[in-house]
């Protein structure tokens, strides 16, 4: 069974200094943190903040390609948690054919924000995640913006992609 989630925000892991996307169950207070790379966090933050860029970023390009191909993204689903790695699938439809595309959750979430499609997490992922919890403090957009602005070239090299 799939549980509908919304992106509640982004925060930094104080231990690993990696960005975390917080997904919140629309029907409860359950929150699922997913650690992502700094570039993916930036792509998600740009769309949350509705910041436009002079040229299309990768996820904007994907949206444009799908639109050009008359493909509709129905939903994204975080489907699995295996060896501390999350897996996701993007479900789209084109010319009456439903297609599933394997994806990293961070890319699926960045695309979901851009095409305004629902986000789901398989309930087994929620059950198996040691990190799934009830309310997590929200991070303000100003805190996120400050963190992103303070990133330097040296910081970007620290993150394992």
Q: Which of 27, 30, 33, 34 is nearest to 134 (CA)?
A: 30
Q: How far apart are alpha carbons 158 and 161 in whole angstroms?
A: 10
pLDDT score for 128: 87
Q: 72: which 2 tokens? A: 């509709």
What is the DSSP code (8-state) at residue 95?
T
What is the DSSP code (8-state) at residue 96?
T
Q: How far apart are alpha carbons 114 and 50 in whole angstroms?
A: 10
Q: How far apart are alpha carbons 81 and 113 in whole angstroms?
A: 22
Asked whether the predicted pLDDT for residue 130 surpasses 50, the reply is yes
Q: 118: which 2 tokens? A: 């629902």
Helix, strand, or coil (residue 73): strand
Q: 90: which 2 tokens? A: 């993007």
pLDDT score for 3: 96
Lowest mean pLDDT among 13-17, 28-32, 62-66, 145-149: 145-149
Tens digits of residue pLDDT in 86-122 = 999 999 999 999 999 999 999 999 999 999 999 999 9
pTM: 0.80
CB 136 within 8 A of CB 73: no
Q: How far is CA 136 from CA 23, 31, 145, 146, in A?
A: 10, 7, 19, 20
Q: How far apart are alpha carbons 34 and 36 in whole angstroms?
A: 6
Domain ranges for the chain: 2-155
CATH number for the region 2-155 comes to: 3.10.690.10
């Amino acid at each position: 069974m799939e549980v509908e989630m919304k992106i509640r925000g982004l925060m930094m892991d104080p231990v690993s200094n990696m960005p975390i996307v917080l997904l919140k169950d629309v029907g409860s207070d359950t929150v699922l943190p997913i650690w992502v790379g700094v570039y993916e966090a930036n792509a998600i933050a740009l769309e949350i903040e509705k910041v436009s860029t002079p040229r299309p970023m990768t996820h904007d390009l994907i949206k444009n390609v799908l639109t050009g191909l008359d493909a509709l993204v129905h939903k994204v689903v975080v489907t699995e948690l295996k060896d501390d790695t999350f897996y996701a699938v993007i479900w789209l439809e084109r010319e009456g054919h439903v297609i599933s595309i394997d994806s990293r959750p961070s890319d699926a979430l960045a695309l979901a924000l851009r095409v305004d499609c629902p986000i789901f997490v398989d309930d087994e992922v929620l059950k198996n995640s040691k990190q799934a919890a009830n309310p997590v403090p929200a991070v303000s957009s100003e805190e996120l913006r400050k963190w992103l602005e303070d990133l330097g070239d040296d910081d970007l090299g620290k993150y394992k992609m």
